[in-house]
Amino acid sequence: MSAIVCNSEVVHYEVLGRGKPVVFLHGWAGSWRYWVPTMQSIAYGFRAYAIDLWGFGDTEKANAYYSLEDQSGLLEAFLRELGILGRVALVGHGLGALVAIHYAINHPNQVARMVLSNCPLNGVYSNRLLAESPVNLVDWLMPESEHKAMVRAEAEKADSSALTRPLLEFQSLELHENFFESEINTLLLYGGHDPLVPPPAELLEEEYPLCMQPFIFENSGHFPMLEDDNQFNRLLREFLEMERDASPRSLELKSQWKRRVR
């Protein structure tokens, strides 16, 4: 187990591979652990880091640090402590996607590109997110998944108080509006059967900046990195390997991917 000390509290992380840095940020009902297969898939060519945010996994349950700003500050402190001073790629899921957006808005010159998975950018999400415990969310989102036991075990470590505050702050601060004004190359990924953060009925490319590309994984729910891992990992690697000035719109659709674009 690797850790740093931030605000006199222990922050857990894990790292795999060598190369350009990629930081993975988990969602509302999880920890670093469900990123392991994805980290392994890019470990040849990239150095993959996964952090347990405040209140999750093996990081301290510090209620004073559950705001979106504090979670973003944790990411900033982590990068500084490990000497990751250049541009970094961020891969965020759910809550982690909100943290990535907050960090990118405040540190645009430190972010090379982003992948935002199952993120309620349009403010549409199930009310169960505000009412359920992390364990109950997993039971609802993964009723028969082979990955349920692993994700559920990590959800049992989470502090329920850490779930809702960042989501409410994200809406009140209207960060999504500032985000759409950014010029950071970004993939927006959705699960076609995600009951927590439903995908848009249609993905109209003209509604997104040219630096952003949306995809829907039609056979996935809230955890496409686990439920559709081959497609997720292949798309992620192609995106990470793109030239810095290339638009994600240049990514070719593979036969096993499908976008709803009118």
The three-point CA angle 254-257-260 to 5° equals 120
Is-contact 134 155, C-beta < 8 A?
yes
Confidence bin at 202 (pLDDT 50/70/90): low
Mean per-residue pLDDT, 13-26? 97
What's the CATH fold of domain 2-250?
A: Rossmann fold (3.40.50)
Give CA–CA dist 213/257, Å, rounded: 13
Note the pLDDT of residue 125. 86
The residue extents of the domains of the chain are: 2-250
pTM of the model: 0.94
Sort 176 into a burial class: Cβ within 10 Å, 0-12 / 13-18 / 19+. Answer: middle
pLDDT by residue (tens digit) across 88-135?
A: 999 999 999 999 999 999 999 999 999 999 998 877 788 888 888 899
